[in-house]
Amino acid sequence: MPATTPSLLFLFLLLFAGLAAAEIKTLTIASDNRPMILFEKFGFTSTGHVIISLAGVFVDSSLSTSPDPSRLGFFLLTKESLIQILSDLRKNPDLQSSFCVLDSPSTTPLFTFREVSPPPHASLNRSIPVSSPGEYLLYFANCAPGSVVSMTVLTELFNLDSDGSKDFLSAGVTRLPSLFAFFAVAYLVFLGYWIPYCLHNKVSVHRIHLLMSGLLLIKAVNLICAAEDKHYVKVTGTPHGWDILFYLFQFIRVILLFTVIMLVGTGWSFLKPFLQEKEKKVLMIVIPLQVLANIASVVIGETGPFLRDWMTWYQVFLLVDIICCCAIIFPIVWSIRSLRETSKTDGKAARNLAKLQLFRQFYIVLIGYLYFTRIVVFALKTIAAYKYQWVSNAAEELANLSFYMVMFYMFRPAERNEYFSLDEEEEKEAEKALGDEGFEL
């Protein structure tokens, strides 16, 4: 089956889907008729290598003739080359019916099934150096009409360091172990300051502050697991179980983060001892959605784009994340409206004005945080050169740390913070400000 334009467009979308860093992977393909299968995206230096081991190779055809083994094989392709192929196909629609990507001069062929040993072994072990630095995509192409392929594929993509050791992390993310370790230390230092501060102001400590402390601890542990995960992948090609711990604490951290943001936004425990019914419903919606998002995240990270439903899981993750980000904004808006209504009757203008200002500031900070981590970080991943993919991770973690610091500062336990301070001299000005209908989001 020829690789048509829709197939190539689908694969092109995968380029921007945040593929996981390469490692030693064993993948099983059963009766697959896809014209192109994307296995990995990897940034090679001048000492790059690709090792591919095939076992149990079997090609079946619905046609009377046997498939031509030279029409099935593995190749490397750059993002720029894929764009060029798509452009050529759009300019020449007549070529689509007979086009095979293996024939394109834009690809770097590795081998075809003509080199696979005959049954009963039907296997191949091939090591290919990559002398031209760049970011490449490892594909399998099936240009034999009416054929399906079954095989077990072991892939190893790595660069050689100056001492000859293998680095299984892509050239753009090889710094991630040190980066995650640095931010883990930063959160531990943050926690080391936060706990004594809470003890010093224990009279003003509420239950929400205990959850905030737990959030800092879980975030630090999550980053430690991420650093160890990437370190072991970097030096050995496998995470040695650290990926399981990473996903576990990632799940806890995300659930706790969305919960803390929502509870802080509703003023739970320090403004009111209970949640309203509609706030409970939002929490009960966000938590199951985050469970689904984390399941999708695990599937995305542990399988790879070769899986037929990989893009579906990726779309589920994006959709659920957007829904959750929108959902946690509503309680803050409700709190602002409730405070504004209360300010008209309780006669505490200065205090209500301070609360309104703080909630509005938190609303703006949260919107900025969500915009940066969901849009700006994605843009950085897309436009950054392959050697600097780590910059998007650094920007995301810096944004996370900045948001945590601002949120913790705004809602810190203190006897005289924005919630509890009252200045009688400002009472009249506060009443005037509250009476201004322009005081909205």
Q: What is the pLDDT of residues 281-310, one digit of tens each?
A: 888 888 888 888 888 887 777 777 767 777
Whether 128 contacts 49, CB under 8 Å: yes
pLDDT tens sequence across 53-106: 999 999 988 887 888 899 999 999 988 888 888 777 777 766 666 788 888 888
Supply the pLDDT for residue 338.
77
Mean pLDDT, residues 35-41 taken together? 88
Mean pLDDT (the chain) is 83
User: What's the CA gap between 293 and 288, in Å, rounded?
Assistant: 9
Give the model's pLDDT for residue 253: 93
Give the CA distances from residue 217 to residues 78, 229, 409, in Å, rounded to whole numbers and listed in that order: 41, 18, 17
pLDDT at residue 319 tops 50: yes
Query: pTM, whole model, 2 decimals?
Result: 0.85
Question: What pLDDT score does 125 carry?
Answer: 93
Task: Quote the CA–CA distance of 365 and 264 in Å, as a whole number.
Answer: 13
The predicted structure's pLDDT at residue 79: 84
Strand partners for 157 = 50
Q: How many CA atoms lie within 13 A of 232 on its CB side?
A: 13
Q: CATH 2.60.120 in the chain, residues?
A: 5-167
More confident residue, 242 or 16: 242
Q: Which residue has the tokens 């005081």?
A: 439
Q: Where are the beta strands (DSSP E) in 62-123?
A: 72-78, 108-112
Does residue 226 or residue 98 have the better pLDDT?
226
Confidence of residue 19 (pLDDT cuts 50, 70, 90): low
Q: What is the pLDDT of residues 169-200, one digit of tens each?
A: 999 999 999 999 999 999 999 999 999 999 99
Contact 412, 193 (CB under 8 A): no
Higher pLDDT, 306 or 125: 125
Per-residue pLDDT band for 434 (boundaries 50, 70, 90) equals low
In the prediction, which pLDDT does 421 show?
47
The answer, yes or no, to whether residue 227 has pLDDT greater than 90, is yes
Q: What is the pLDDT, as a whole number, of residue 183?
A: 98
pLDDT at 181: 97
The residue ranking higher by pLDDT, 119 or 29, is: 29
For residue 213, the model assigns a pLDDT of: 96
pLDDT on residue 2: 47
- 3-state class of 122 per DSSP? coil
pLDDT category at 264 given cuts 50, 70, 90 is: confident
Distance from the Cα of residue 174 to its chain's centroid: 17
Two tokens, residue 346:
């309780």
CB 324 within 8 A of CB 290: yes
Supply the pLDDT for residue 91: 75
- Percent of the chain residues topping a pLDDT of 90: 40
Q: Report the pLDDT value the prediction gives residue 352, as an integer from 0 to 100.
A: 65
pLDDT band at 48 (very low <50, low <70, confident <90, very high): very high
Q: What percent of the chain has pLDDT over 70?
A: 83
Q: Is the pLDDT of residue 234 over 90?
A: yes
State the pLDDT at residue 87.
77
- DSSP letter at 144 equals S
Residue entry with tokens 């309680």: 331
Please state which CATH class domain 5-167 belongs to: mainly beta
pLDDT of residue 5: 47
- CATH: 1.10.3470, 1.10.10, 1.10.760, 1.20.1070. Which one for 176-435? 1.20.1070
Q: How far apart are CA 329 and CA 337, in angstroms?
A: 13
| pLDDT at position 171 | 92
pLDDT in tens, 375-423: 899 889 888 888 999 999 999 999 999 999 999 999 988 765 444 444 4
List, in order, residues 6 or more apart from 435 with CB less than 8 Å away: none
Residue 4's pLDDT is what? 47
Q: How many CA atoms lie within 13 A of 301 on its CB side?
A: 16
pLDDT at residue number 131: 84
In the chain, CATH 1.20.1070 sits at 176-435
Q: Which whole number is the average pLDDT over 147-155? A: 93
